[in-house]
Structure 1
Amino acid sequence: MKALASDFDGTLYFEDGVREHDQKAILNFQKHHLFGLCTGRPFIGVQHYIKDIIQPDFYIVSSGACILDKDGQVLYEQTLSKDTMQAIYQQYHHQAEVSIQADFRIYTLLKDSKIPIVQTYVETLDDVGSEHIFGLSINAKNEQQAKQWTQDLNETYDDIVAFQNKEYIDIVKKGCSKGAAIQKLKELLHLDYVYGIGDSYNDIPMLESADCSFTFHDSPESVQKKATYVVSSINEAIQMIEGQ
C-alpha cells in the first residue's frame, strides 16, 4: 500500500482554500492509495477547512506528536509535561502570542487573538487541559526572529524540539517530528511506500523521511535541497507518482 502525506498551510490549503485541481487529483489518488495530512496544526485546526472537500485517510498533526486514523481516533501520541508548557509560555508570552495545543483544542490567553484558527479562550494556564498537551505555537514578529527563538528553545530545553515554520514556531516533545511520524505511520498502517510533500522548514524531517518527496519552486532553497522533486502543485506531484 502506498500513501501520500501532505503538509497543510501553503501546500494543500491557501488563502483561496484548497485548489480545485489538487482536490480532483487527491480524490482520484484515493481510489487506489491513501492520502493524509502531515501538519503542525492540531486536528481541530484542519477539520473546519477541509470539511466536505477532502476526507483524509490519516492525520499526522501537531508536528508529529499525534497520529489519527480517518475517523479521528488516536493511533499514537506523545505529550509535553504541564511544567514545560508553563515554562515556555512564561518565557515568551510577553513578546509574542503563544497558543497551546491540548486535549484536541487550541488554547489562548488572549481575547483578541490574531491566529486565524478556532481557539478556546482561557483566563489562566491552570484552565488548560493537562492530560494531552501536544505542543505550543509561538507567533514571532518575522522569520528572522522565529529562526533565533527556534535555536534558543532547542538549546535551552532538553525535553522538547522546536521547528520553524516561517514566522511561527511549533514546539513538541523531543523525538517528535513530521519525519518520525512518517516512519511510525508506515508501521501502524503497514505501508510499503510513503510520499511526502511540503513547503517550509518544518517539513524537512518529512521530506528526508519519506521514500520520495516533493516541494515547490517557491519553497526556501534549503527545503528544495531536501526534496526528491520540485513541482508546482500537489496535482503535479500526483501525476508524477501515477506515472512511476
Structure 2
Amino acid sequence: MSLQYDLIALDVDGTLLTDDHVLTASIRETVQEAATRGAQIVLCTGRGPSGALPVMAELGLGGTIITHNGAVTINSEDRSVVHQFEMASDHLLSFVNYCREQAIHFDLNTAFEMMVESMTPEVEAMYGKFEAKPSIQDFRMGLPSGLVKFTVFGSKDKMDVVQAEWAGWPKHLHSIRSGDYFIDVHHAEANKGRALQQLAEIRGIDRSRILAIGNYYNDITMLQFAGMGIAMGNSPEDVKLAANAVARSNAEDGVARALREYAWS
C-alpha cells in the first residue's frame, strides 16, 4: 500500500486525544505506522510547547510542532524556534483591562512560558489537564515582551459573550475560539493554516500532499490549506463544512480510522 500524503498535521485536544485527554493505543499505533511509511507527522495545536511536547513523546515521535495555534513553530528535538509571530504588548492592554474589569481569568504566553496574575483551584485543575504549569507574575508594571498568545478561560456562556464583544474590536490582533471554554488572541497573521503553509514551503511539500485533521474553529485554516482536510465527528457544523471529509469522533478513534481510510491505499 502506498502513502498518499507526505505531511500529516494533527490537532491535539478534541482530535488526537479523547475528551479525557487520553491517547489511545489504536491512535498511537496508527500514527506511528503513518510515520514508518514515510509521512512527516506534525502536531498543530493551541497548546504551548510544554503541553505539546509530552504528546509527541507519548507518540514516540520527534519532529516539528506548530504550537499556540500557529503563533510558534518549534523543533521538538532541540526546542529551537523555527518561526514565531510576536504581538505588540501595547495592543494587548485593552484585552487585559477588559478581563480585569470583568473578572475573567487570562494567561499570557511567550514561546515557552505561560504566565498568570492569579490562580484558583478551578483554574489550576484546568491547566493540569493540559500539562501546563503557569507562573504567577505581577503585570501591573507592564506586560512582558515576546508575547505570542493571550488566552481567556471561563464558562461557555461567558465566552460566548466575550467572543461577541471582541468581534468588533480593532484588527491589530485576532481572537479565535479554541474551545467551548477558551478564546485565544494572537498576532493578526498567526493561525494554523499560515504556519502549516510556512512549514510546507520550507520543506518543499505541495499542499496537495498534506493531510490535516482537526475539530474546532481554530483548525479551519489548517483544514482549508491542506490538500485533504478532515474534520472530526465531534466538530461544530461550520468546521465540518470547511473540510473535505468528516471522520468519526475523538471518542471513536476517529484519527486512526481516518488515517487508515485516506492516508494510504
TM-score where L is the length of structure 2: 0.84
Greater helix share, structure number: 2
Q: Structure 1 residues 239, 219: CA separation in 2 closer, same or farther (over 3 Å shift)? A: same
Q: Identity over aligned residues, as a percent?
A: 18
Partner of 2:12: 8
Taking the TM superposition and a 5 Å limit, the aligned residue runs for 1:100-115 are 100-112=108-120, 113-114=123-124, 115=126
Greater strand share, structure number: 1
Segments of 5+ residues of structure 1 without an aligned counterpart are none
Taking the TM superposition and a 5 Å limit, the aligned residue runs for 1:1-80 are 2-14=6-18, 15-31=20-36, 32-71=38-77, 72-80=79-87
Partner of 1:224: 240
Q: 2:43 & 2:62 partners in 1: Cα distance?
A: 7
Partner of 2:104: 96
Q: Is the 8 A contact 2:211 2:263 kept in 1?
A: no
Between stretches 144-153 and 157-166, larger displacement belongs to 144-153
**Per-residue deviation, residues 209-240 of structure 1 (Å, max 9, x unmatched):** 11111112221111111111111211112112
The aligned amino acid for 2:247 is V
Whether 2:128 is the aligned partner of 1:118: answer: no
The aligned amino acid for 1:135 is K
After superposition, the CA RMSD in angstroms is 2.1
* SS of 1:63 mapped into structure 2: helix
Taking the TM superposition and a 5 Å limit, the aligned residue runs for 1:84-233 are 84-93=91-100, 94-112=102-120, 113-114=123-124, 115-116=126-127, 117-125=131-139, 130-142=144-156, 144-165=157-178, 166-192=180-206, 193-232=209-248, 233=254
Q: Structure 1 residues 213, 169: CA separation in 2 closer, same or farther (over 3 Å shift)? A: same
Segments of 5+ residues of structure 2 without an aligned counterpart are 249-253
The partner residue of 2:259 within 208, 220, 238 is: 238
Q: Is the 8 A contact 2:86 2:148 kept in 1?
A: yes
Q: Structure 1 residues 164, 9: CA separation in 2 closer, same or farther (over 3 Å shift)? A: same
Q: Structure 1 residues 199, 103: CA separation in 2 closer, same or farther (over 3 Å shift)? A: closer
The aligned amino acid for 1:121 is S
Q: Is the 8 A contact 1:107 1:121 kept in 2?
A: yes
Aligned residues: 243
Q: Is the 8 A contact 1:110 1:121 kept in 2?
A: no
The aligned amino acid for 1:82 is S
